[in-house]
Amino acid sequence: MSLVPDVTAYVPAAPKRSQILREQAERCRRLAQATTDAAVSRRLLELAVEFEEQAEVEERRARCP
């Protein structure tokens, strides 16, 4: 079960959804670098990977008719 929130629920176009997901991943990576808590940093990096994976799914969906 993924704990990643669905940040794309109200965004209609798949390319836009994947862009938002990639932006969220980048935010997670920046926050992971900024925090001094190792556990928080690790979880933020995990979230970044999950956001990137979701972006890939959206992009694949957009390519399939």
Q: pLDDT for 4-62, tens place per residue?
A: 566 555 555 667 899 999 999 999 999 999 999 999 999 999 999 999 999 999 888 88
Q: Looking at the 3D structure of the chain, how many domains does it have? A: 1
Question: Domain for residue 9, yes or no?
Answer: no
Question: Domain for residue 5, yes or no?
Answer: no
Domain that holds residue 22: 14-63
Question: Domain for residue 4, yes or no?
Answer: no
Question: Domain for residue 39, yes or no?
Answer: yes
Burial class (CB in 10 A: 0-12, 13-18, 19+), 5: exposed
Question: Domain for residue 3, yes or no?
Answer: no
Report the pLDDT value the prediction gives residue 44, as an integer from 0 to 100: 98
The model scores a pTM over 0.95: no
